[in-house]
Structure 1
Amino acid sequence: MTAALQSPDKQDWTVDDLASLPPDLNYELIDGRLILPSPTGLHQMLGIKILTALEQACPDGYSVVPDMSMEIDRRNEPRPDVVVLHDSVMLQTPAPVDQAILAVEVISPSSHWRDLHAKARVYARSGIGTYLVVDPVSFDHGVVLTEFRISDEGDYEIITSTSEIFETDAPFPIKINLAVLTALRDKYLAARDDA
């Protein structure tokens, strides 16, 4: 579940407004809209599995990080579920987006449009070359991973979408077995249905 903070007198947030928030509050700012994410356990577990897979071949000088605020512009400070960042900015928050080479979002029922459209637009404009979207909620047959890369026009284009084995060489060699993620999802669905 995700909540969006909008007061009647506050229609558009900027990064300057974020200074008034409690320092331990997890938030995202997307197109001037303040979002307070509240991910499920499945969402968090999928993020951990993806982080682990990305670490296998992460290039020297880069680290795979969960839930890191990214500095983009006055109206956007997203927190990708997983991001690959240059080591030189690992002690900064928010981290400058120009030091990220890959961002990953795990879709929740409440974040579907935002992750596939609003965040994709923001990440593409900011120059993150590869964007992976993991969708555990929309397809009965399995968890689906969609790979987006920046086109010559500066927008993302879909390179591949699969619920089986995902492999790519951009921005570094990555291999993720989606069947393992589907089995995890199905385990939690079965436990919910048996309860």
Structure 2
Amino acid sequence: MTAVDERRMTQFFEGFEPPEGAKAELLRGVLVMMSSPDIVHNWIVADVQDQIPRRWARLQTQDVDIVGEASEPVPDLVVLPKDSLPSSGRLMPCQLITMVLEVVSKSSVHQDYVVKRSIYAAGGIPTYLVIDPIMAQCVLLTKPTGQGEDADYHAQEIIKFGEPVPMDDLGLELDTSEFGTLPDVRPHRYP
């Protein structure tokens, strides 16, 4: 995709209003729409947000600007130091972000484990936490390296629900003991 095409897509996306009950993201120049999240999803996001100390800014569904990417992902939770929080704006610069969180749904498995993993690593976001109520696990990704589609996280730790997740960048251990699961959903092969 050329720079002109990327700019045009970004301009289109900025003015795009998804239908009621849907969420839209721009991922590597592709407009991706998803249905509203499940209660299990929302409860997990709220639980994680409540565990993060108030010295951190904790923003749900904040559009993120990834430098050098035709991407504007909308993580389920964005965490950054409060003193880094801009006073306004639709796009949060990736350089300010300490952690992003995605909670996996039936329709987001590939995007959360593959596409967004690479996008967040390309943006240099230090911590990417994937919480997966299908597989009852958390995948903690740290140490981003590389650029573009070749970007990835050098360190990966898989933690089962019920075990604490060491969130070193935030100075806490995340309690996963009350995370719910999605019943009657076929297991997947990720990460």
Aligned equivalent of 1:63: 57
The percentage of aligned residue pairs carrying the same residue is: 21
Q: TM-score, normalised by structure 1?
A: 0.75
Q: Would the aligned equivalents of 2:121 and 2:145 in 1 still touch at CA under 8 Å?
A: no
Displacement of 1:19: 3.2
Any idea what the Cα deviations from partners look like across 1:55-108, whole Å, max 9, x if unmatched?
23x6x4x31111111112451000110110243325321111111010010001
AA aligned to 1:132 is L
Describe the SS at the equivalent of 1:18: helix
Q: What is the Cα-based RMSD across aligned positions, in Å? A: 2.8
Runs of 4+ deviating beyond 6 Å = none
Instruction: Write the distance in 2 (CA, Å) between the matches of 1:90 and 1:79.
Output: 19
Q: TM-score, normalised by structure 2?
A: 0.76
Name structure 1 gaps, 5 residues minimum: 1-9, 191-195
Flag the structure with larger Rg.
1
Count matched residues.
Answer: 169
Instruction: Write the distance in 2 (CA, Å) between the matches of 1:112 and 1:152.
Output: 22
Instruction: Write the distance in 1 (CA, Å) between the matches of 2:43 and 2:9.
Output: 31
Instruction: Write the distance in 1 (CA, Å) between the matches of 2:121 and 2:47.
Output: 24
Instruction: Write the distance in 2 (CA, Å) between the matches of 1:175 and 1:31.
Output: 32
Name structure 2 gaps, 5 residues minimum: 185-191
1:1-195, aligned counterparts within 5 Å?
14-22=9-17, 26-38=23-35, 39-53=37-51, 55-56=52-53, 60=55, 62-73=56-67, 75-87=70-82, 88-89=85-86, 91-137=88-134, 139=135, 143-151=136-144, 155-163=152-160, 164-181=162-179, 184-185=180-181, 189=183
